[in-house]
Amino acid sequence: MPDTHKPAARAGAANTVKKPSRATATDAAPVMAADRVYQAIYTAVLDHRLTPGSRLREEELAQAFGVSRTLVRQALHRLSQDGVILLRPNRGAEVPVPTRRDGEHVFDARRVVECEVARRLAGKLAASDMDTLRQIVDAEAKALQSQNKQDAIRLSGEFHLALARMCGNPIFVRLLEELLPSTSLLMALYKAPGEPMCVAHGHHQLLDILEHGAGTGAATEMRRHLNEIERSLSQPAEKKSIALEELFRDARVE
């Protein structure tokens, strides 16, 4: 994950947390095909199908998507500009491996943007917006129940993006589009496998406060939610000590 300030993600990427479908370049304009490649890789990073450190070879991607290497290169370049992947001169493209320090920066930025989004939206959301948010949260709960991890991760990101969109400032949306894949990579590295991107029930509580509460309360609840997610990133280290016990069970001296 780059530390430097990146150009904001493309506005078109606002729709990227949709399930990707296979690109069919033959009947699509080149720009559309590059968009499809962009979106499919973005979503795969978001829902952990592409894990930190994965190499993204142009030729393999070109074959997988059925497009030219030029189109793949275009998509990779944009993904790199948007902070989703890393492009290195002699190593090609790969999914970044964020450090804990990167994680602190990501959550610091998310708190600044999203607490303000929540503060502005509290008590002011239209009924249709509340319906949209409820649908996302219900779908997320269903995905969690049926252990559909990919959908759960995608929908939990969609909830946060939807709030940013409803706030009406497209730059907030672009910032979040860059921060969500980074968050997802941190989850893949530092959170126990199978855990959802957001802490369960957090979105229901946020919805209640956004519907009826005041701005300060909504901002506080968003901060609490993001803090909880950030704290959950330390869990693998704790589980490792349990794993060690299991690992050495047969060697136990009794």
Site string for Zn ion, 142-181 (x = CB under 5 A): ----------------------------------------
Nearest distance from C-beta of residue 88 to Zn ion, angstroms: 32
Residue nearest to Zn ion (CB): 198
Taking CB under 5 A as the criterion, which residues in 35-64 touch Zn ion?
A: none
Q: Which helix (H) or strand (E) covers residue 187, if one does?
A: helix 170-190
Interior angle at CA 152, CA 228 and CA 72, nearest 5: 110
Size of the site for Zn ion (CB under 5 A): 1
- Residue closer to Zn ion (CB basis): 79 or 155: 155
Taking CB under 5 A as the criterion, which residues in 98-127 touch Zn ion?
A: none
Asked if 67 is part of the footprint of Zn ion (rule: CB under 5 A), the reply reads no
Q: What single-letter amino acid sits at 223? A: R
CB atoms within 10 A of CB 98: 22
Q: What is the largest CA-CA distance in the chain?
A: 70
Nearest distance from C-beta of residue 68 to Zn ion, angstroms: 38
- Residue closer to Zn ion (CB basis): 40 or 118: 118
Measure Cα distances from 184 to 62, 65, 125 in Å.
25, 23, 27
Nearest distance from C-beta of residue 122 to Zn ion, angstroms: 16
For CA atoms 73, 43, 17, 83, the dihedral sign is negative
Instruction: Please identify, among the stretches 42-50, 135-143, 191-199, 208-216, the one whose residues bind Zn ion according to the rule CB under 5 A.
Output: 191-199
Asked if 198 is part of the footprint of Zn ion (rule: CB under 5 A), the reply reads yes
Instruction: Please identify, among the stretches 6-14, 30-38, 168-176, 197-205, the one whose residues bind Zn ion according to the rule CB under 5 A.
Output: 197-205
- Residue closer to Zn ion (CB basis): 70 or 227: 227
Which residues fall within 8 angstroms of residue 11, CB to CB, at 6 or more apart? 170, 173, 174
**DSSP type of residue 10:** P
- Residue closer to Zn ion (CB basis): 42 or 107: 107
Nearest distance from C-beta of residue 197 to Zn ion, angstroms: 7
Check if the beta carbon of residue 185 is closer than 8 Å to that of residue 96.
yes
- Residue closer to Zn ion (CB basis): 57 or 120: 120
SS3 of residue 169 by DSSP: coil
- Residue closer to Zn ion (CB basis): 61 or 164: 164
- Residue closer to Zn ion (CB basis): 72 or 198: 198
Phi, psi of 94 (to 5 degrees): -150, 160
Residue burial 22-56, b: 16+ Cβ < 10 Å; e: rest: ebebeeeeeeebbbbbbbbbbbbbbbbbbebeeeb
Residues contributing to the site for Zn ion (CB under 5 A): 198
